[in-house]
């Protein structure tokens, strides 16, 4: 099984509460680690405005993550 290094940025809905963001980030991290990945860094950027509205929303909560994982894991994400 070959390990690859990835950087992934994902955006959460900006209307959630702070503890909900933490719960989702932890769940995402746990999923990667439980499936053979190793987290190098999680960088929470927080709420940012979009350059253009997306699905009637003007901002989102950004999270950037660096991790090593088997290529098959990416399909599951």
pLDDT digits (tens, 9 = 90+) for 39-59: 999 999 999 999 999 888 999
Task: Tell me the CATH number at 50.
Answer: 3.30.70.60
Q: Return d(Cα 40, Cα 63) in angstroms, integer.
A: 14
Our count of domains for the chain comes to: 1
Residues 6+ positions from 56 with CB-CB distance below 8 Å = none
Domain that includes residue 58, residue range: 3-76
Q: How far is CA 66 from the centre of its chain?
A: 9
Quick one: pLDDT at residue 20? 96
Q: Name residue, tokens 């960088």.
A: 43
What's the Cα-to-Cα distance from 43 to each of 55, 57, 63, 72, rounded to whole Å? 25, 23, 6, 24
Considering the entire predicted model, what is its pTM?
0.84
Q: Phi and psi at residue 36, in whole multiples of 5°?
A: 95, 5
pLDDT digits (tens, 9 = 90+) for 14-39: 999 999 999 999 999 999 999 999 99
Quick one: pLDDT at residue 1? 45
């Amino acid at each position: 099984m070959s390990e690859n290094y990835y950087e992934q940025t994902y955006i959460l809905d900006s209307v959630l509460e702070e503890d909900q963001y933490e719960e989702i980030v932890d769940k995402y991290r746990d999923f990667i680690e439980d499936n053979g990945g190793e987290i190098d860094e999680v960088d929470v950027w927080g709420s940012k405005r979009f350059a253009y509205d997306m699905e009637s929303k003007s901002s989102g909560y950004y999270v950037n993550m660096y991790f090593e994982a088997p290529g098959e894991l990416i399909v599951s994400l």
